[in-house]
Chain A
Amino acid sequence: MRSERLKAAILPMSLLIILEAWARSVDIHSDALAPPSAVVLALFQAFGDGSILAATRDTLASAFAGLVVGGAIGLFFGIALGIFQPLDRLMEVTIESLRPIPSIALLPIALIALGFGYRMEIVIVAFACVWPILILSRAAVRSIEPRLIEVSRALRLSPSDRVRKIIIPAALPRIFLAFRLAAGIALIVAVTVEIAINPIGLGAGIMIAQQALRPDLMLAYLLWIGLIGYALNAGLLAAQQHLFGPAALAGEVR
């Protein structure tokens, strides 16, 4: 296992070494590239003066708030539309005409309505997060074992108990998967909004580094965003396995 990982690391490591050697040998003066050593150094400096930490806080706060707001809306409508088929048919045209709008295309409107800052970014992230969660939680509710719904009817569960005790727990593993996907989308959209227009966070950090002709710092931000995305996904994946291990097992045995 360990040797497998080492083998997998050989290719990227040798590419980095080659890049480093090449960059030093030709003494590049590029606005887009920098030797890996300079990128790492710039990353440490950015940590040293705290600028990257503040930017990380801004980006993650916006992405997380957008995820929570969009997720809550998506979850509510996803469950409601999954339960009430007539409502779903009624809303279908509305949803299918809103869903294809790229969230970034709302940027000009959101900017006029809300100005620069957290609020505008949160709204755009939320818009992007609503759809995957709505679609996936609707599908999750629809695919609940019909026998379980019958059990809840036979026991005469109240509508709220039916949702709380049967529908949400039964759909939860797939709803969590939807949140994991949406979390990735939230980070991407937040950084995109910052690069495009919003002067806060990691995306704005990249733009400032670019305009200051600091490719090392720009790539350092890029590296850091990659690490955050990786850690976010790994953390959520671990949580998913920890939370739904027994339930996932039950699904397979059945």
Chain B
Amino acid sequence: MGVTVDVAYKSLNKFSEVLCGDKVELLHTDDSNIMILADGMGSGVKANILATMTSKILGTMFLNGATLEECVETIVETLPVCQVRQIAYSTFSILQVFHNGDAYLVEFDNPGCIFIRDGSLVPIPHSMRVIRDKKINEYRFRVKKGDALILLSDGTIHAGVGQLLNFGWLWEDVASYAVKQYRLTISAVRLANALCRACDELYQYRPGDDTTVAVMRVIDSKPVHLMTGPPKDPEDDLCMVKDFLTGDDTTKRIVCGGTSANIVSRTMEKKLTVSLDYYDPDLPPVAYIDGIELVTEGVLTLNRVLKLLKRYVKNESVTEEFFLELDKPNGASMVAKMIIEDCTELKLYVGKAINSAYQNPGLPFDLGIRQNLVEQLKHAVEEMGKTVTVAYY
């Protein structure tokens, strides 16, 4: 069946805290995607350590095929005991979706997972299991395209408690808001952000607790091919372009680089039209080749793309303003938007030729850094939970 997912999360720190006490891990195995949300007791450094350890232990052990019992046991044995409360405690939720459509949800003391199918809420049955005195809910089910699964930390349902709302934002209300936003948004990141923003508003921008929303949307696979830089040996032009053009009609293609664009245009025998419309003074305009989704200049644009992706991965600064930036019509925003919102796996086709004109100390920017940028780009996109492959020519 080939299920692919779009995953993203957003956290708000408790007001005045530098560290977040919630932690999300996004992982993938050969046949599944895993999303883990842990919420450490308390806030600040202590909570951050508890949550990080919990999510890392769960992630690592799950990846290596440990059973749930073994995972829980390890967490109980390992977590440092809080001096104030004399317990070691972190809640967690684990969601694993296999490529064949099977799904497995484990919940311990977090608010229940919100499961949206065909635009409405699907109740998740309770089947409690006790492991080491901990009541853990397990649920095995099947997913289908269009489903959205949302993990929450309790900061969400406590939003506004005692201030705007007597009892906080009740789970049912969070869920119905999520259903509404599900219809209004396409990507996981916008859905996560919409929910977090609502929490922030209910908290009157001073969250009383760490708040995290982690979203997984089941979507069609969306491969993106990105070609940048001419091959070291011009004889490889043809082979590089041929590889770049592989894939089916769901594959989107981006060319980042003037010379690369010329090569693609020549090889495909399609005209390259360069626009003169500057939407950003620091970035050269985009260009057009029939059959290629996006054609931009190379290194300057990629440098900006990387900045946007890093901002996104760091997560703290993903706000409305970030999306406004992402929606701008300049080349870098368009590339970043496609990678963040419209891509499940990224294939990079990178040429290693060195442009002698770029080895010019008179230029205010080092243009000879393509491979370095590509490596950083790869890491950033992998951190988003997407698969990245790089081929050098």
Is B one of A's binding partners? Answer: no
Q: Taking beta carbons and an 8 Å cutoff, which residues of B are in contact with A?
A: none
